Amino acid sequence: MSTVSKKGGINRRNLLKASAGAVGFAAGAGAITGFPYVHSAEPKVLRYLGTAVNEGDEIAKKCMEDTGIKIEYITATTDDVTKRVITQPNSFDVLDTEYFSLKKLVPSGNIFALDTKKIKEFDNITPVFTKGQLANGKKIGAQGTAPWKVLYLEGANSKKFSATPTEFVTLIPTVYNADTLGIRPDIIKRPIASWSELLNPEFKGKAAILNIPSIGIMDAAMVVEATGQHKYEDKGNMTKAEIDLTMKIMTEAKKAGQFRAFWKDFNESVNLMASGETIIQSMWSPAVTKVRSMGIACTFQPLKEGYRSWASGFCVSKAVSGPKLDLAYEFVNWFLSGWAGAYLNRQGYYSAVLSTAKANMTADEWGYWMEGKAAVGDIKAPDGTVLEKAGATRDGGSFDERMGAVACWNAVMDENDYMVRKWNEFIAA
């Protein structure tokens, strides 16, 4: 017994010595070979803070290949991203966030104003963002925090938004989309054409709305307006009386048992719909795609009152300067050059510069995703899984039909504080 343990002890000690030596050697070798590099070239690294949705590994990989810039993702939830920008602006270089957050972020002074002259494709960014209209000149609904209201700043160091175009911009659009209700056509079995259907007693106990106050209240407002009970001046900036009215109508529906559940998380919405717990609910485009890929019928239903739209983009931290800033511009220019745009379009989002994205997509892909045409072949996701069989058309049709029908944008209201309190009251009712 004692010999065994002694032998074991020696073995272990030898092993430790050997491994310590190996580690030391490796460290030494690393230092010697690595040293000259540190001086000859700064590593090209950008820390990219954002939500998981937009942080594709593929984009980081391709960016590394094309430009040598290493993108280090810092992943957080939408709300945590905002908190971090306000409290720790030095902890990231590039920030991916939604346009409506800018109303909170820009006054904090932690956002750098990008110079449009240094952005090659800036003039080709879709006029949805720069002017609030489609390429054919059709005006888009401007209720809420529409991107063009918070895109321009008055000057390089300004904390004020400019109503007219200037050369200083906040966010470079990455992805945006138009949201509506998701439905289960196999169970509902009749056409759905209005937001008011969410409160239709026919769907009692089978409807859902999302429990993120700032977005949920806008879906609620779309419903209230569709039922004809009130016409809002601006659904994205309600008065206290309008908030009260909206929540009163929703509270009555809640008490009557209209809602099966509220959801907060992407997967919750998928599960509610796929299991048949709900058959009509506010939903996001990729969630509908996910339900469909499970072999369950689900439609992202276009409605006559239009869509609630959202848009996110990236900007640069105020703390970034010098060579790092040049890197940031290089990254912006690479992002808009087409590959990334095509990648995002293929996921059902829309990208900022359509012309360069088109050049990176096949005619069939472009036709299906952007022009509302029937797919000629199978439509595949970027990772190769089949999303739609040949012959399918996109819910809601073409880019112009969908974005042209936007009624309002995700927003932060002036009465945000009051709204959050009322929302808590609604949940407690």
Q: Which residue, 74 or 261, is less far from another protein as judged by CB?
A: 261
Q: How far is the CB of 356 from another protein (least distance, A)?
A: 34
Closest approach of another protein to the CB of residue 229, in Å: 22
Q: What are phi and psi of 168, to 5 degrees?
A: -110, 120
CB nearer another protein, residue 109 or residue 165: 109
Residue with tokens 């992407």: 266
Taking the least distance from each CB to another protein, the nearer of 266 and 329 is 266
Q: Shortest gap between Cβ of 198 and another protein (angstroms)?
A: 15
State the nearest-atom distance from the C-beta of 160 to another protein, in Å: 14
Q: How far is CA 220 from the centre of its chain?
A: 21
Q: How far is the CB of 214 from another protein (least distance, A)?
A: 8
Q: In whole angstroms, how close is the CB of 90 to another protein at the nearest point?
A: 17
Determine contact, residues 169/111, Cβ cutoff 8 Å.
Answer: no
Burial of 340 (C-beta count, 10 Å sphere; 0-12/13-18/19+): buried
Phi and psi angles of residue 264, each rounded to the nearest 5 degrees, phi first:
-130, -20
Write down the least CB distance from residue 275 to another protein, Å.
5
Identify the residue whose tokens are 């069939």: 364
Nearer to another protein, 349 or 409 (CB): 409
The whole-angstrom distance between residue 107's C-alpha and the CA centroid of its chain comes to 22
The whole-angstrom separation of Cα 148 and Cα 89 is: 24
Cβ atoms within 10 Å of 402's Cβ, excluding its own: 24
Strands 299-301 and 181-183: antiparallel
Quote the least distance from Cβ 290 to another protein, whole Å. 14
By CB under 8 A, name the binding residues for another protein: 79, 82-83, 86, 103-105, 107-108, 205, 208, 211-214, 254, 259-265, 267-268, 271, 275-277, 412, 416-417, 420-421, 423-425, 427-429
Q: Which amino acid is at 174?
A: T
> To the nearest whole angstrom, how small is the minimum distance from the Cβ of residue 205 to another protein?
6
The H helix count followed by the E strand count for the chain is: 17, 17
371 vs 414 by CB, closer to another protein? 414
DSSP-assigned states of every residue in 327-379 = HHHHHHHHHTTSHHHHHHHTTT-B-S-HHHHHHTS-HHHHHHHHH-PPPSS-E
> Closer to another protein at the Cβ: 175 or 247?
247
Which residue, 136 or 275, has its beta carbon nearer to another protein? 275
Q: Tell the burial category of 184 from Cβ atoms under 10 Å away from its Cβ (0-12, 13-18, 19+).
A: buried
**Which CB atom, from 350 or from 409, has the smaller least distance to another protein?**
409
- The rounded distance, in Å, linking the Cα atoms of 310 and 409 is 6
Nearer to another protein (CB atom), residue 106 or residue 125: 106
- DSSP 8-state symbol, 382: T
DSSP class per residue in 24-59: HHHHHHHHHHHHHHHHH----EEEEEE-GGG--HHH
